Amino acid sequence: MLRPDSRTQDRPFASARGTTLRAKQHFAFALLGVLSLSIVLPAGLIVYFVAARGLPAISWEFLTASPENGMTEGGILPAILGSLALVMVTMAFAVPVGVMGAVYLVEYARQGLLVRCIRIAIMNLAGVPSIVYGLFGMGVFVMVIVPAMINLLHLDPHEYSRSCLLAGAATLALLILPMVIATTEEALRQVPGHQRHASLALGATKWQTVRRIVLPNALPGILTGLVLAIGRTAGETAPILLTGAVFYMSKLPGAHEALFKPFMALPYHLFAIATQLPGAPDEIKWGTALVLLGLVLGFNTIAVVLRTYLRGKRV
C-alpha cells in the first residue's frame, strides 16, 4: 500500500511546491469541513423543527388523555403506555436470550466452525430489513404461535386477538437480539482475564465465576447496551405494523389481558395520523413526533451519560 513517490526524492523547487501544496491542503481540509457540516446541519434542523413545532402541543392533557373526536383532539396517552408496555415485553424476551448468547460466545465457546456460523447468523439478523421481520412475525407469531397459545389457554378467540402485544414484542425481540448480543459481548470482554483466573484458582466452577465475577463486573456495560436497545425498540414501526399495532382503541386493556390484545404505539400512531388522517391538526402530529423523538433520544442520552460515567470510573 505504501508506494514510494518519485517526486519526494527529488525536488528542485521545494519551496514553491510547498506553497501550492499548503494551499491545496487548506482547500481540501476546508472542503471536508463543509461536507461534514452538511451532515451536522440536517441533524440539528430535524431536532429543531420537531422541537419547535411540537412544543406548543405538549400539555399535561396531551400526555395524559386519550385521543378524541377521530384523533383530531385529545392526547396520546394510550400510545405512550402501549409503547412502554411493548418495550418491557420485548426486553423480557430479548434480554435473557441475548445476554446468555453473549455469555456463550465470550465465556464458553471455543473458536471454530460453530462460532463462525453464529457470528454470520448474528450479522445477518442485524441486517434483515425491519419489514421482513414484520412478515416473519406475521407468518409465525400471528398465524401460528399466538393462536396456538390462545387455544391452549382456553381464551375466548372472539375477545382476544392473535395480532397482539405478545406477537409484536416477540417480533421486536428478534430484531434487537443482535444489538443486545453485541453490546453484552463488548461489556463481557472488558472484564479482565485475571479476575476470572483468580476465581477459578480459588476453586469456583465456570458458572460460579461467570455469575459472581464476570456478570457483576460487566453489568454497567450491559445496562448501557440495554438502554440503547430500548431506544431502538421504542422507535421501530415496520415490525409492529403487521403484528398487532392498531390505529385506535376505544378502551385500554387491563394489565392481565394486554398480552393478547392489540396495542397502540407511538411510532405507529405518528405514522397513522401523518398519512391516514389528512384532517388532523398539524400541532397534534408534531406533538406526537416530539414525544417519540424525546423518548428515543432520552434513552440514548441516558446510555451516553452512563457510558461516559463508567469510563471515567474505570480510569
Partner 1 sequence: MKRRVQRSFEALVELAIKLAGVASIVFVVLILVFLLKDAVPVLSSTPLGELVAGQQWRPTSEPAKLGFLPLILGSLVVGAGALMLAIPLGIACATFLSEVVPTHVREIVKPIVEVLAAIPSVVYGFVGLLIVGDWLRRTAGSAGEALPGPDWLTAALNMPTGMAAITGAIMLALMTLPTIVSISEDALNAVPRSYREASWALGATRWETTVRVTLPAARSGIIAGVMLGIGRVVGETMTVLMVTGNSPVIPSLTKGLFRPVRTMTATIAAEMGETAHNTEHYHALFMLGLLLFLITFAVNTVADFVTNANKHVETR
- Considering only 66, 136, 189, 283, the residue that binds partner 1 (CB under 8 A) is 136
Among candidates 169, 202, 7, which has minimal Cα distance to 91?
169
Report the residue number, 148 or 257, with the smaller CB distance to partner 1.
148
SS3 category, 205: coil
What is the distance between the alpha carbons of residues 96 and 193, in angstroms, rounded to a whole number? 24
Please, which residues bridge with residue 263 across strands?
Answer: 245
Alpha-carbon distances, residue 241 vs 114, 149, 257, 289 (angstroms): 34, 21, 21, 17
Radius of gyration of the chain (CA): 26
Q: Is 104 in the site for partner 1 (CB under 8 A)?
A: yes
CB of 100 to partner 1, least distance (A): 3
CB of residue 284 vs partner 1: minimum separation in angstroms? 12
Nearer to partner 1, 157 or 257 (CB): 157
Helical ranges in the chain per DSSP H: 6-9, 14-54, 60-64, 77-103, 113-127, 130-137, 146-152, 165-190, 193-201, 206-209, 215-235, 238-241, 266-275, 282-314
| Interface size with partner 1, residues (CB under 8 A) | 94
The smaller minimum CB distance to partner 1, of residues 89 and 99, is found at: 99
Q: Of 81, 143, 204, 306, which one interacts with partner 1 (CB under 8 A)? A: 143
Asked if 277 interacts with partner 1 (CB under 8 A), we say no
Minimum CB distance to partner 1 smaller for 119 or for 212? 119
Interface with partner 1, residue 11, by CB under 8 A: yes
User: CA 127, CA 141: separation in Å to the nearest integer?
Assistant: 21
Site for partner 1 in 31-90 (CB under 8 A): 31-33, 35-36, 38-40, 42-44, 46-47, 49-50
Of residues 238-257, those binding partner 1 (CB under 8 A): 238, 241-242
Interface with partner 1 (CB under 8 A), residue from 55, 92, 123, 219: 123
Question: What count of other Cβ atoms lies within 10 Å of the Cβ of residue 205?
Answer: 10
